[in-house]
Chain A
Amino acid sequence: MSFDAAALRRQFPILRQAQPGGRALHYLDNAATTQLPDAVLDAVQRHETTARANVRRGLYPLAEAADDAFEGARATVARHLGAAGPEEIVFTSGATAAINLLAHGLAVAPGDEIVLSQAEHHSNLVPWQMLAQRTGVRLRFLPVTPEGRLAADDLAGVIGERCRLIAVTHASNVTGAVSDVAAIVAAARAAGAPVMLDGAQAVQHGLPDVAALGVDFYVFSGHKVFAPNGIGVLWGRFDRLDRLRPFHGGGGMIRRVEEGGFTAGDAPWRFEAGTPPIAQAVGLAAALDWLAGLDLAAVRRHEAALTRRLLAGLAGMPGLRLVGPADDHYRLPVVSFAAEGVHPHDLCHLLGEQAICLRGGHHCAQPLLTALGHDAVSRASLSMMNDDADVDALLAALPKILRALR
């Protein structure tokens, strides 16, 4: 297989929509949300028009079709992640919900420790801070290098005897820095602690093989992997998953309920109280099928070439400070930068008026920005659907806007 960027772009309806002023859309905010290809939109519409019913409830054929679709989606996700089986896949509303589920499900005692890093998105920080408030768990932080990479050399210093989980990002949403998972897993194994990876950013750039990674939990969101909003995944090794306490209570997660109490059902369903996001799960499965059908090595080469083009163009601009690893081997196509004397909000607002979509601010990673010496940065996050014209549009617009704002 080869990679045809133009053919791939034709699969995204949003790129066919006219923008105000007749401009082309240059969508460079893929780290926040990816766009939906026809294959995913079609799968969701097909489900909603042929198999829409509740799951685990009905006895009629339509309900059975919904069950088949939902559990089929679980099996598809399991297969693409290299999971041992569909019972290791918990559907959630997103990565944030998955991490909250884990934070409520773990059995911990006062004085136990959870190891995070300075690079975490607030979604992999605040749930643990709330756990610490509830239980007296202590949080420890792996520092980052000046480039924003996790300082793997410091692992031994933060993983103590009371460590109950190491929960870190697979790749940063600000710097794009990819974590040294092998080093983290090795240090965790030496301490007997499980590892959770936040794959929210990594998944859209290559499906993870959770078995090969050697981790115990992996979370991600559908909306960052060309799938609908409102769907996410908590994958866990079944023996680990099965030890978690349920988080949300309600229908669908029980074996029996009496006035005096309830008996929880089996994993993974005991973590999915209420009506789950069924069509969204179908869409997620379609997205992963669609991704798996691409030449992902060629996709990575395409993304890397775009990243190098962008980094080279930005490097020549006066007063611009790039954030993240200099070596693109260690980064996703996520490029953040600070422009001297210009606030990212003003910059991104004016770029937006030219249909060039970047994110500016703290990117829900305030401790990381503090560690890197910034209050806010602008971020261009590329995906496989971008092309040279997207990068060139940004590089052409930036100097003019910076001049106007300075």
Chain B
Amino acid sequence: MSETLYNTEIKRLAALPAPRLSDPDAAATLDNPLCGDRVTVEVRLKDGRIQAVGYAVRGCLLCQAAAATLAARAVGMDAMEAVALAAGLRAMLKEDAPPPAEPLTVFTPAARHRSRHDCVLLPFQALAETLRQEK
């Protein structure tokens, strides 16, 4: 059993109910072409900053946990900060960089599993796409 990857915190995050926004300012849906996972991310913005995040995940436990972490972490960020967060997470997974934020430490065990990187990144990529569309 992969105790470090499928740890208690990942499972707790994945089990959190996914909040949805009734009237988002922007939304985007991305697919993982490898497995067909699908993530929808919605945002409400005020003065260029993320005020609230909603999401829906049709995917694995890592993807669900990543979306939950994103929803908590991205509130208050502007587009550049959100994109930088996604880039930092990507570097953590692919380039052995330190976690860009403490809550993302929980995903560090995924770094050694190349096939799972996109599972973690998909919600963050969807957020970046959402913010691109809002522009």
A: residues with CB less than 8 A from B are 343-346, 349-350, 353, 360-362, 366, 369, 375-376, 400-401, 404-405
Contacts and interface: CB of A to CB of B under 8 A. Distances in A.
A362 B34 CA distance: 8
Contact of B35 (A376, A404, A405): A376
Given A361-B36, A376-B36, A401-B1, A350 B61 contact: no
Contacts of A366: 36
Interface of B: 1-2, 5-6, 11, 34-38, 58-62, 113, 115-116, 119
Residue from the set B34, B37, B60 with the largest chain A CB neighbour count within 10 Å: B60
17 contacts: A343-B59, A343-B61, A344-B35, A345-B35, A345-B37, A345-B61, A345-B116, A345-B119, A346-B61, A346-B62, A361-B36, A369-B36, A375-B36, A376-B36, A400-B1, A404-B1, A405-B61
Contacts of A404: 1, 6
Contacts of B6: 346, 350, 404-405
B60 A350 contact: no
A164 B30 CA distance: 36
B7 to A, nearest CB: 11
Contacts of A353: 1-2
Contacts of A405: 6, 11, 61
Contacts of A362: 35-36
A346 B1 contact: no
Given A344-B35, A349-B2, 17 more contacts: A345-B60, A345-B61, A346-B6, A349-B113, A350-B2, A353-B1, A353-B2, A360-B35, A361-B36, A362-B36, A375-B36, A376-B36, A376-B37, A401-B1, A405-B6, A405-B11, A405-B61
A343 B10 CA distance: 14
Contacts of A346: 6, 60-62
Contacts of A349: 2, 5, 113, 115-116
A376 B33 CA distance: 12
A251 to B, nearest CB: 34
A148 B1 CA distance: 33
B65 to A, nearest CB: 11
B113 A375 contact: no
Contacts of A345: 35, 37, 59-62, 116, 119
Nearest to A362: B36
Contacts of B113: 349
Contacts of B61: 343, 345-346, 405
Nearest to B2: A353
A362 to B, nearest CB: 4
Nearest to B3: A404
A344 B60 CA distance: 7
A369 B38 CA distance: 15
A366 B38 CA distance: 13
Contacts of A369: 36
Q: Would you list the 10 A-B pairs with minimal beta carbon distance, nearest first?
A: A361-B35, A362-B36, A345-B60, A343-B60, A346-B61, A346-B60, A353-B2, A375-B58, A376-B36, A345-B35
A350 B2 CA distance: 7
A343 B62 CA distance: 10
Contacts of A400: 1
B10 to A, nearest CB: 10
Contacts of B119: 345
B64 to A, nearest CB: 8
Query: Which of B35, B37, B38 has the largest number of chain A CB atoms within 10 A?
Result: B35
A345 B5 CA distance: 13
Task: Specify which of A344, A346, A401, A405 lies most central, judged by the most chain B CB atoms within 10 Å of its CB.
Answer: A346
Contact of A361 (B1, B11, B34): B34
